[in-house]
Amino acid sequence: MASVRNISTKDFQLKVILVVLFLMLGWVLLEYTSLLYRSYQIEQKKNWFISENERLIRNNDELAKRYEYYKTDYFFRKEAKRKLNRKEPGEKVMIISGGDKKIISQNSWDLSEDMLSKWYDYFFNEEY
């Protein structure tokens, strides 16, 4: 009887050790998969930051090009013509309305009394 009891205790101890080992193996696998998932998430965030950085660099280059363009004399003159109805000396402006053509020959760079009154009316007159 002692040998049967001795075998069953050894068998029981072996089963307990196997169960503990399987539990430890399960815990290690769980931690490993958790680390893999965190690594995947970090890789995704890294890729997002890289693409966002590239987008911001492209945007920055675009804004730098615009800034350089806005500093040019060409832009200044173009905006003065467009917004302030200015023209360069020697330049003739054609206004086409309803099929007839008129050539305006007065120089808009000179601020005449007429131009000042137009600006005054534009800002302070309630008709507009």
**How many domains is the chain partitioned into structurally?**
2
Judge if 57 and 92 occupy the same domain: no
Judge if 111 and 63 occupy the same domain: no
Would 78 be classed as within a structural domain?
A: no
Range of the domain at 110: 88-124
Q: What is the pLDDT of residue 127?
A: 54
Judge if 95 and 35 occupy the same domain: no
Judge if 21 and 62 occupy the same domain: yes
Q: Confidence class of residue 87 from pLDDT cuts 50, 70 and 90? A: confident
Judge if 5 and 66 occupy the same domain: yes
Burial of 51 (0-12, 13-18, 19+ CB in 10 A): exposed
Judge if 45 and 93 occupy the same domain: no
60, HSE (Cβ side, Cα atoms, 13 Å): 6
Q: Which pLDDT tens digit goes with each residue over 21-76? A: 999 999 999 999 999 999 999 999 999 999 999 999 999 999 999 999 999 999 98
Would 117 be classed as within a structural domain?
A: yes
Check: pTM over 0.75? Answer yes or no.
no
Judge if 53 and 15 occupy the same domain: yes
